[in-house]
Each structure stands twice: as structure tokens, then as C-alpha cells.
Structure 1
Amino acid sequence: MAEQNRMNLYLILRFGFDGLAPGHIVEFGAYRGGNALFMAAVCQELHPGMNVYAFDTFDGMPATDPQRDGHRAGDFKDAGYEELLEVIEKEKIDNLHLVRGLFEDTADEAMKNVGSVRLNHVDCDIYSAVKYSYDVSRKYMVDGGYWVFDDCLCSDCLGAMEAVEETTIRRDGRFAEQVFPHLVYRNWPSSWT
């Protein structure tokens, strides 16, 4: 991840949660866990009791749509799940929980246990994953909570951008709060607009 993107996540974690209802962080598309580790470490300092749930197959990309997606099944298969578990233990990051498997197989049940969400970091590269991770988090997102889309502005992630356009913009009528270095949308209740 580019330094400016990580800095942007820090700014949201540091200054964006004031006034929001309690909740946790979910990340869809953790790969090697760098961002999840970063967010969990920041939350240990700034938001004790807040957990980070990192969803990923940790085995590479699932099947993709060649008409939409620039990535193929098996891309990012070098995730290193066991190594990530070792880092979590070594660094004593006890607020980071890994959810291993396809989102469609794990997220519904896991989200019931997560409960309220303040931030969903959508770090997915393909249409189906972006669409699913946004949709599965909607009913758990607190008022004013954040969806931060990481990869949809990359040239090889056109399917990811298509999913944001279809669901977040067209269907749900959300307007971006930020367009750089991430696309950032908020869960503003209609009574707040």
C-alpha cells in the first residue's frame, strides 16, 4: 500500500470516529495482513476495545470475471497465513481476528459476531468481492461510518470500480467524501442530509 493511503487510514482512525456509535473495523481483502496489523495496532493505542476483523481466503484470488476483472484466480496466493499468525502473536496484537475463507462462506456468520462497524476497508481487486463486501456490511454500519475502497482506482481493478458505481453510487445514492487517495463513502442517514 502506498504511504499516502496508510496515512489516510490513520487520519480516519485518529480523527474520524468522534461522535460515532461504538463499533469495530472490518477489512475485506487482507492479503498478507499489513493494513490489518496497522489498523489493529493504532486501535490498541487510540481505541481500546475496538477489534479489527480481516477477511481473506489467504490462498489467493477466487474465480474472477474475465470480462470485468484484471486479476485471475490464484493471484496473490503467496499470502502467508501462518506467518501472519506468528506476527500477530509476536507483536501481541490481540485485537486482530483473521477470518479465513471465501467471503460468501464466512462473512454472514462472522458479521453477526462483529456487530456494529465503524469502518469497512474494502481492499479487494475484483467486482464480486467489492460488491459482496460492501453489501454484507451495510446493515452493520453505524451512522456516519466509513467505507474506504482501496483498489478501485487502479487500472487493473476496473471490476472493483464497476461494483462501487453500481452499488454505492447508483443503487444507494452515496456521494464520495474523498476521491484520493481512496474512495471514501459515509453512511449518512437520510435525516442528516
Structure 2
Amino acid sequence: MTAVPPSHPPGLLRPALGLALITLLVAGLGYALLATGLGRVLFPAQAQGSLLEHDGRIVGSSLVGQPFVGARWFVPRPSAADYDPMAMAGSNLARGNPALQTDIEAARQAVAAREGLAAADVPDELITRSGSGIDPHIGPATARVQVARVAAASGLDPARVQALVDAHTQGPTFGLFGAARVNVLALNLALDAQAQADGAE
């Protein structure tokens, strides 16, 4: 009669558990701590969420779009998620969906009236939602069409407002990837600082 070998040979269970524990600690906890530590040292601002401050308080992140109410501010792209980072999403409507076409046309007319433009001159960025719903950037041309409104509402010279747009226009990443862009929150903070400086003079 042939003996049936045990399913777990004696003496192998302890090394297996030890190896599993070491792997868990090194690959799980150790790697995470190392990556987090290096991130904080090499990229301190990004590791903290790329937060922006104004008058000593955090007002947002340069990575997350947010709404601005009032004619004196530049506005970002519309958001299907109401700018909620926990609910990032696009509209999920197909390009041929009649509801999407209706929404776009209504937005086009509203933006044209707000900016004093012909409907045909309204940039697509101001009437279509980004895939994430929290895109913090707009293109330079999209910022440019808002300059006249922002200048009139804030009491600043349009040339100075345009200069702020130019100063906050970022080129493609590494000169290769993406397109030129303007961070709306950073631009509005600079606009507010400019208005305060002019008021103090």
C-alpha cells in the first residue's frame, strides 16, 4: 500500500508565511513609504496636491477646476460633474445625441451674450464639457475672448488683463506634449492681486 503524502509537508508552512509577511512589508508598506517620501522631497508642492493660497488660506488646487461667479473673473470649461473631484465625469452623451446639441446651442448663445461675441466666434471650450469635468485649464484664445468683460468688470485696463493672460500662458509640456494652456485659478488669483495693488496705489 502506497502512503499518501500530506497536503502540506511539515516544515514548509512557517517559511511560506514568513516570506509572505516579508513580501507584504517590503513590496506593500516599504515601497509606498519610499515613494511617498521621495515624492515629498523631490516634488513637495505636487505631493501636497499643488495647492494654491491667497491671503494665507488655501483656495484650491492648480490641478482641479472650480467655478467662478461674477463678471470680474475668468471662467473655466463647463463641468458635467459640477466641478466635484469625487464625481469626475463628462456628459456621456454621444456627439449625435439631440440633447447634447441642444445644450451646446443654448450654451453658445449664453456665452455669446455674456462675452459680447457673435455666436460663431464662441470657443468650443466654453460650451463643451471636458472628459474629467474638472479641467483647470483653458486655451489662450479662450482666455482672450474674456479679457474685455473681465477688464470692464474689474476696472482694469484691458492691456493689463491681457498681459496677465500672457504671463500665465504655459506652453506644451517639455515643448512637445499637449497645447498651450492657461490655469484659470492661477490667473484669477493674479487678477485679484493686480486689482488690490492698483487699489493700494
Q: TM-score, normalised by structure 2?
A: 0.29
Q: Is the helix fraction higher in 1 or 2?
A: 2
Q: Name which structure has the greater RCO, CA cutoff 8 Å, separation 6+.
A: 1
The higher radius of gyration belongs to 2
